[in-house]
Copies of this chain bind each other. A is one copy, B any other.
Amino acid sequence: MLDGRWAPGHLNELSAQECWDLLATHEVGRVGFCDGRGAVMLPVNYTVHDRSVLFRTSPDGLLGQHLRWGYAAFEVDEFDDYTQSGWSVLVRGPSRAADPGELPETDEARPVPWAAGDRSLVLRVTPDQVTGRRVMPS
């Protein structure tokens, strides 16, 4: 039955399960952290594992410096310019260097960066908050 939640342009909150289902459909998300001035956001390739988000980065890079032991935001979204609709999911939580013994067993479940270079540090974000929203087609 149509109600206000399906009205054009209405912003629906997603359930945690919907958020996890959507996170599993993508390969690229954006990691956010705070430096002395404000937020920084950088795209990464990721996988979802045990209700956490895994990505690889350089031990010496910005993400490695701030998120080997830090607090991360992670965002994935998809939008359609034509119907002016889409969804976004935001994950927030502590970020730590992943224990090699706790990584997924299969290669395809492990994150593989598109970008070349030394990206030997695997970081795991374990969410304490998972939220998402969907904007309905107008």
State the main secondary structure of chain A at its contact with B.
strand
Query: With the chains together, A71 CA to B36 CA distance in Å?
Result: 11
- Of A38-46, A48-56, A96-104, the segment with at least 4 beta carbons within 8 Å of chain B is A38-46
| The residue from B33, B39, B73 contacting A72, defined by CB atoms under 8 A apart | B39
Contacts A11-B116, A115-B9, A135-B114; A33 near B28 (Cβ below 8 A): no
Contact partners of A37 in chain B: CB under 8 A: 71, 92
For this chain, the copies found in one complex come to 2
Residues of A in contact with B, size category: 35 or more
A97 to chain B, nearest CB (A): 17
Q: Which of A32, A81, A88 has the most CB of B within 10 A?
A: A32
Contact partners of A42 in chain B: CB under 8 A: 88, 90
Query: With the chains together, A10 CA to B73 CA distance in Å?
Result: 26
A56 to chain B, nearest CB (A): 13
